[in-house]
């Protein structure tokens, strides 16, 4: 199984800073949220095991947040080396799809989107856990509606 750090590193490796494609900690958190939610809905198992909570600015994986918090609101400037062998072809395709759909949006747009979605609404505002069950249930409805 992957970790939230592996998923985050994969998304960071897709960004093209020279083209203005920048990822802040806030945006990274939302990309990881969408990846986890859709993966649960499609595969009935989590993409990674780290816990997700409802924070003021949307869903957050606390361990991942603390790992990148030194960048504040700025773009994460490190581009991790990725050993793509840890991602099977299906997972790479899935993560590329998530990035192609959600990576185009700004951090603030993604934040606002998550504030309209049941997993965050039902767990907020007390930093409550966003459960795999809540993610799976909500994102299954998105697959049906999409």
What is the model's pTM?
Answer: 0.95
Total number of domains constituting the chain: 1
Mean pLDDT across 101-111: 97
Inform me whether the pLDDT recorded for 146 exceeds 70.
no
- Express each pLDDT in 119-129 by its tens digit: 999 998 777 99
Number of Cα atoms under 13 Å in the Cβ half of residue 58: 22
Mean pLDDT across 89-104: 96
Residue 46: which domain range?
Answer: 4-145
Here the tokens at position 59 are 């869903």
CB 102 within 8 A of CB 34: yes
Per-residue confidence (pLDDT) for residue 16, from 0 to 100: 86
Mean pLDDT across 114-142: 93
Per-residue confidence (pLDDT) for residue 55, from 0 to 100: 95
- Express each pLDDT in 7-16 by its tens digit: 999 999 999 8
């Amino acid at each position: 199984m992957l970790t939230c750090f592996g998923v985050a590193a994969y998304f960071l490796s897709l960004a093209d800073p020279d083209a203005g494609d920048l990822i802040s900690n806030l945006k990274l958190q939302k990309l990881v949220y969408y990846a986890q939610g859709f993966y649960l809905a499609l595969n009935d198992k989590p993409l990674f095991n780290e816990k997700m909570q409802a924070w003021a600015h949307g869903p957050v994986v606390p361990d991942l947040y603390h790992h990148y918090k030194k960048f504040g609101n700025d773009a994460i400037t490190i581009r991790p080396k990725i050993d793509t062998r840890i991602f099977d072809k299906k997972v790479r395709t899935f993560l590329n799809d998530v990035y192609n759909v959600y990576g185009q949006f700004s951090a603030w747009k993604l934040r606002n989107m998550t504030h309209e979605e049941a997993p965050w609404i039902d767990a907020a505002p007390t930093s409550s856990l966003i459960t795999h069950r809540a993610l799976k249930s909500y994102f299954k409805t998105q697959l049906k509606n999409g």
